[in-house]
Amino acid sequence: MITRFAPSPTGPLHLGHAFSALTVWQVARDMGGTALLRIEDTDSTRVRPAHEAGIYEDLAWLGLSWPTPVRRQSEHYAEYDAVLEDFGKAGLIYPCNCTRRQIADAGAVPGADGLVYPGTCRHRTMGDAQAADGLRLDISKVLERVDGPLAYLEIGSGAPDLIKITNETLLNTIGDPILRRKDTGDPAYHLACVVDDALQGITHVVRGMDLYDLTPLHVLMQVLLGYPTPVYHHHALITDADGKRLAKIDHSKALARYRAEGATPADIKTMIGWRD
Ligand code: GLU
């Protein structure tokens, strides 16, 4: 059993991250497995070295440890580009530089990952792609290639649950996702995450419910790439007894600030209602 905690060093870790990290390491311990730390530093305009340093410091302070070297996605762009190259040859991606405004103006509806792309550039081909173009995955073409039905095992609620994925979900609530960002050429989260989970032999993905609606896309990409689909454990987000976002804690206050003000790891655990 191998799982991972995969923060993005685009800001400091907060109490929600502490809950998520503790859950990852607890699930690994309960299953006699290993928890890896992975740095998802692909958003080159927002990543900061200080935030990465803070991740190591905060997690160690919480008493967590991980095998080294840590995989840092910024060191592996060639691996993500190789996958894009294959998708290009198979005719599964197309260039797109639409702005959020253009997408909204085209009447896009909200979906699992922001607005569902309305397909404006879907007629474009890689033949006219420029180096700085964004690239999108053509979901309907992918669906022609993979043999359904798609499903994955969810264990976050305690009992294992087989979650079936419909084409309707993929086409109408997710839509064609960006896999390479325009201008920076950075690989998008979906691509780097799916590639890394496979390369690192992740058997169990433990992460927050905030990513639950994106899992169908990740499973589709795994099947397309011939990767195994891990078991998923989507944990609840920290909430109070009514299931509302915990009101009595400051969700925007960095763990490092609590620490600087004298809080102990035990204090953090109390604040987030953590039970070992
Ligand atoms: N880097 C993602 C985040 O910070 C986590 C991705 C994942 O666990 O799949 O939200």
Q: CA-to-CA distance for 217 and 82, rounded, in angstroms?
A: 19
Residue 218 alpha carbon, nearest atom of ligand 1:
9
Q: Which of 10, 41, 189, 213 best tests ligand 1's pocket when mutated (most atoms within 8 Å of CB)? A: 189
Quick: pLDDT tens for 151-203. 999 999 889 999 999 999 999 999 999 999 999 999 999 999 999 999 999 99
Whole-angstrom distance between the N-terminal and C-terminal Cα of the chain?
20
- The CATH number of the domain covering residues in 76-200+223-228: 3.40.50.620
Ligand 1 centroid to Cα of residue 184, in Å, is: 20
Record the tokens describing residue 110, joined without a space.
Answer: 């909200």
* C-beta of 214 in contact with ligand 1 (< 6 A): no
* C-beta of 207 in contact with ligand 1 (< 6 A): yes
> Quick one: CA dihedral 35, 38, 111, 241, positive or negative?
positive
C-alpha distances (whole Å) from 44 to each of 6, 13, 47, 153 are 16, 18, 5, 33
Q: Which of 4, 38, 40, 221 best tests ligand 1's pocket when mutated (most atoms within 8 Å of CB)? A: 40
Grade residue 148 by pLDDT with cuts at 50, 70 and 90. confident
Q: Topology of domain 1-74+238-276, per CATH?
A: Rossmann fold (3.40.50)
pLDDT averaged over the chain?
Answer: 95
Give residue limits of the domains in the chain: 1-74+238-276, 76-200+223-228
Quick: pLDDT tens for 21-35. 999 999 999 999 999
The yes-or-no verdict on residue 270 having pLDDT over 70 is: yes
Length of the chain measured in residues = 276
User: For residues 196-221, b (16+ Cβ closer than 10 Å) or e, as one string?
Assistant: bbbeeebebbbbbeebbebbbbbbbb
Q: If you search the block for the tokens 């691996």, which residue do you land on?
A: 79
Are 1-74+238-276 and 76-200+223-228 in the same CATH fold?
yes
